[in-house]
Structures are given as structure tokens and as C-alpha cells.
Amino acid sequence: MHASSFENEIRDVIIIGAGPCGLGVAARLQEETPSAMFTDEEHQRYHWIKKHTGRMKLVQAGHSKLNGVRAEKWNAAKKCPCDIKQGEHNQNMNERRGSIDSVSSVPSLSSSTASSDSTYSTLVLDGTGDKWMQRWNNAFRTLEIKQLRSPMFFHPDPGDRDGMLAYTQEVGRESDLWEISGCVGKEMSKHKKKKRRQGGKQHVSYVDRSIGGEIDERDRKDYYSPSTDLFTDYCNSIIDRYNLDGQGQILKQEITGITYDFLPERGDVPVSNSKIFTLTSSTGQKFYSKAVVLAIGAGGAGISKILPWKPSTEEEGASACCHSMEIKTFPSPNVKNKIRRRQQTNVVVVGGGFSSAQIVDMAIRKGVTKVWFLMRSDMKVKHFDISLPWMGKYKNWEKAAFWSADTDEERLEMIKVARNGGSITPRYTRIVKQHAAHHRASIHPRTVISSHKFNAETQTWSLVTDPPIPELPPIDYIYFATGAGADIRQMSLLSDMNAQYPIEVKEGLPCLTDDLMWREDVPLFMTGRMAGLRLGPGAPNLEGARLGAERIAWGLEEILEKKQEVGEQCEGFCGLGNRYASLVGDDSTEE
């Protein structure tokens, strides 16, 4: 269906981005009984602390600020991230909704109504294609990535935290699971084993001194990662379950501008007495909605790639280098031709993260003579791209400490400590070092390119590094696996929003509301890395996709006043109060 047929509809929600974050939001909006992000006991403990603030001393978990639970932080002004919005809303919420809800009375050329099985009328716009996960799948296919780095419980399914594990067992694809060895499992000789009594039974856990965290042996099943094919099939099952692949639900449109204002009188489009979003695509088409969810990841619209330099012409070497997110074919045509002629080939890979190690390995497997691996810092080896305490059995404690921090500056520092730059998994560290042992790779930590010159005649680079690399030959191609920036002030599609509705920004990350909304009066939601100051270090990961979708769903429910009824008692279901209250009838029914 052509995009023009949607131009005059006013949607409830438009999601920008059809990757894991966008899929997580779309699926969550269809799920009436989402799995809890916390257990019932954890929900109750969190709210109990808030209720008894200042009236009861809490046992301190440690002496440091991060390790200690300070009762005064749990005040009414600090909202628990898992707060269930119930009862009457405060005055600010009513004021915020006053102008937005009146949009429902605004007529349109083509009335946009939700389908019979959908709570919201939604539209998904993505610059790559009209299918879910196209950019994601293309990137994994191009780099020949066979395994996800994330564990089994990182996925966008709102229905079940262990959904991927259940799906794997249901379809009999246990062989598609890769054990994250050395974290928990077989390789326990390196770890200290501890035994203790719990619940009348002897319980075993392992302390990984090399990583600095503890993994519960009962969570062994969690510390497997799926193959990329298994993850893709699981995402397809989510899409099918929630009917998210209908015709016209996703359009290939690169959004270049977002505005939030009163709908102007324009031909047959009526005057609006309330503000709505107008999204403009690269083709000049416009789309309208009451709320917008920005769910773009690395490489998405407006995300700037980090490059040491950017050649603009062939004479400057534009065809002899690229960012890892821009790889179309591998290796490059000039390198492929030299390999075919059995000539010497030399490639430089710049970066210290997982992608850089994968490119090094793939280049050697494709026949490149030697790869020079340059890292700005030391080689950091980690199972995951965030530290293990955020992944293990104490992760909810880490999240609670993050959410109850006093300032966004404090949260930003916690993110930096937990992520600590790019890192490589132990498996790929071994692979790269094996290539180095066979003289196919040369690893250079704490090394940067100080000068560069491209020879258009020979199609090679002359590089000078700091510190110098002895006898560095002419380089045929350079891959920059240097990541992408995340500064909302530099995103062109948000230029109008920044100008008209300025918000506080910390090192590029927006200071969103607890519902991941731009401002209390602007229902522009963000998820993924842009929501880092609210979701924590895991925001750019698959876990952030599910956590972000949960918060956004609650926020949209308030904005659009389309409450999903879950019996008469929400509090028992959501982990507040008596969890069995919803099973008890009133006095009349009991008789």
C-alpha cells in the first residue's frame, strides 16, 4: 500500500524504527497481560520502602553510596520505574492530557481507527524497508555474525521473560544455543565454588573473580546465547503472534523532521484545537499522530557515526574506507580483485569492540593477507557489553540503585562505569589471538592513526601511527568500527523539537520523564540508547527494548486514555497489594 494513502490519517501512535526496540513497543501495545519486569515480591518490597519512608530504618547493604539503600531517596517525588498508574492523576497529568485527548475529536480526511484486535491505531516508519528487523538482519548477514552476544532473557517479547527459552524447547532447537562459557556452566575450574544452605537444600553458586560478579547456578539456563537464525525466527513468531506484519503496517520512509503543533488549515485538512505531531519524510510526505515513539538504534536516522576522518572524494580515498555500519559487500571490490589475483593485501581495522573483532576474523577468512588491528585503549575482554552485576542475580538491585540516584549526572557516571567502552567476548579474543599467532593479524592496543595519505593511483593508504608501527605496509582498505554518537542536539530530525521544546541534555542523552517522554506536555517517547538516563546501562541492548516498551506502554495508556481492563483488581495482577484479590468476588457473588 502506497504511503500517500496514509497521509491524511491521524494515528494514535507512529513508531519510527522497525528494529528490536520498535518491535518491542509494537508487541507490548498488543499485549494485555505482560510479564512483570520484577517478581511480585520485588514489586511489593519496592512500594513498601516508599510507603514507610522515614518511619523505619532499613538494613544497609554496604558502606558506600552505591551499596547502601538510603531511605530518604524513596520519597514521593521519586517514582519507582515500575509504578502502576492508578486512581486519580495529579494536576500536571490532567493538564498534560487536556489538550492531547481533545485530538480524538479532530476529524480527518480518512478516519484512522484501530483494527478489531488492536487497542491503538499504529503505523511504523523505517528508512531501510517495510519489514521488521531489516536493518538488523542485514547487518548480521553482512558481517556473518552467527551468534548473539546477549543471553536468552534479552529479547523484545512482552509476554514472557523466558519466552525464547520456551520457544527453543518447543521447536526442538537446543542445538542453536551457544553456552557462554566461563560465566556459569562447564568451565568452573577457574572459579571459586561456594556451598550454602537455602530452603533446607544445599545450594551451589560460583564467584567469577575475573569478571567480578556472582552467577546463581539455578540461572545456568539463562547464560546461553541464541544463534542469529534462532533469534530471527523467534522475533518472527512474536510478529505473527501479535499480527504485526499486516499490509501497510510498516512503510519504508526515512523521517527527516518532526514537529508538534496545532494542525494548520490546509485545504481539506481541518483546523485542530490541539497539538499533534507532523512527521516529514525524505520524499516530502507527511504523517500525523497523537504520539510518536522514536525507536532508532545505531545506524538509524539522525544517528551520527564516529569517524576519525571522512573522505569526501575518490582522490581522498572515499572508496577505500568505510564505517562498519556502512559495509555493503565484504571485502571491498579492490581488495577482492587483489585476492583473486593472489596479490598481497593489507587491511586496517580501527576499534576495540565486538564488531571490530568480527571484521578482523572475517577479513582473514575471506583471504586478506594480513589485518592490522588498532585500538585506542587496551583490549577489554567481557562476556557482555555491560558489567556482570547488571546481568546476574543482583541486577535488580543495581537497577534500583540507578533509578534512585539523586541526579542524572550520577546516573550518567554509573552508565560509563558499567559499559566502560567497547569490549570483546572471550571467544572472539581467542579467535583474534589465534590469527595473530599465525601472523595473519597484528594487534596494537593504545595506538591511533596520527596522519594519513591516500594514493589515488595505487588505491592504497600511507598511515603513520602513534606509537609508530614498524614497517607498516601500504594499506588497501580501512574499516572504522568506532561506533556511533548519541547526541539528540545533533540529530537533524529533532531540530524543530530542540528549538520549540528544549529539554535538558547530559552529554548527548536527553533527560526524559520517567515514562521516557520528551516532556510532560510533549508525548514524544524515546527508547533504546536515547533512554539511557532512565533505563540504565542496558538501554541500547535487547533488554532495553523490553524495559523501554513497558514504560512507554504505561505512558501511552495515560496519554490516549485507552485503559486496558484487567478485571476489577489491577493491583493484585501488577504486583501491588494482595495478588489474589482479583480472584475474590464481592459479597453479593459470594452468597
Contact 345, 334 (CB under 8 A): no
- Name which of 295, 294, 351, 302 is nearest 327 in CA terms: 351
Buried b (16+ CB within 10 A) or exposed e, 379-403: bbebbbbbbbbbbbbbbbbbbbbbb
For residue 301, the model assigns a pLDDT of 55
**Least confident window among 114-118, 510-514, 555-559:** 114-118
Confidence of residue 330 (pLDDT cuts 50, 70, 90): very high
Neighbours of 142 (CB within 10 A): 16
- The full DSSP string for 110-164 is S-----TT-SS-EEEEESS-SSTTHHHHHHHHHTT--B-SS-TT-SS-SS-TTHH
For residue 404, the model assigns a pLDDT of 86
For residue 479, the model assigns a pLDDT of 96
* pLDDT for 412 beyond 60: yes
Share of the chain above pLDDT 70, in %: 69
* pLDDT for 488 beyond 60: yes
**Least confident window among 104-113, 227-236, 449-458, 503-512:** 104-113
The CA distance from 471 to 462, in Å, is: 11
**Ranges in the chain annotated CATH 3.50.50.60:** 1-37+102-163+228-304+484-560, 314-385+422-480
For residue 181, the model assigns a pLDDT of 67
Second-level CATH architecture of 314-385+422-480: 3-Layer(bba) Sandwich (3.50)
Q: What is the mean pLDDT of residues 137-148?
A: 88
Element spanning 41, H or E? helix 40-51
Q: Tell me: the pLDDT tens digits for 77-119?
A: 334 433 433 333 344 434 433 333 333 333 333 333 333 345 7
* pLDDT for 40 beyond 60: no
Query: In the chain, how many H helices and how many E strands?
Result: 16, 22
User: Which of the listed CATH numbers 3.50.50.60, 3.30.1330.100, 3.40.50.300, 3.40.640.10 matches domain 1-37+102-163+228-304+484-560?
Assistant: 3.50.50.60
Q: Where are the beta strands (DSSP E) in 361-400?
A: 370-374
For residue 499, the model assigns a pLDDT of 95
Q: Tell me: the pLDDT tens digits for 517-536?
A: 999 999 999 999 999 999 99
Contact 279, 16 (CB under 8 A): yes
Q: Tell me: the pLDDT tens digits for 170-208?
A: 999 999 988 876 655 333 333 333 333 333 333 333 333
Check whether the bond before 270 is cis (ω within 30° of 0): no
The CA distance from 469 to 46, in Å, is: 55
For residue 35, the model assigns a pLDDT of 67
Q: Tell me: the pLDDT tens digits for 246-283?
A: 888 999 999 999 999 987 665 555 445 679 999 999 99
Rg of the chain in Å (alpha carbons)? 26
Work out whether the CA dihedral 525, 527, 530, 536 comes out positive or negative: positive
Q: What is the mean pLDDT of residues 300-326?
A: 82
- Name which of 365, 383, 380 is nearest 435 in CA terms: 365
Cell numbers for 555: 505512558
Residue with the bigger pLDDT between 203 and 155: it is 155
Cell numbers for 505: 541534555
Contact 364, 398 (CB under 8 A): no
* pLDDT for 345 beyond 60: yes
Contact 142, 330 (CB under 8 A): yes
Residue with the bigger pLDDT between 471 and 126: it is 126
Please list the residues that pair with 452 across neighbouring strands.
463
Global pTM reads 0.75
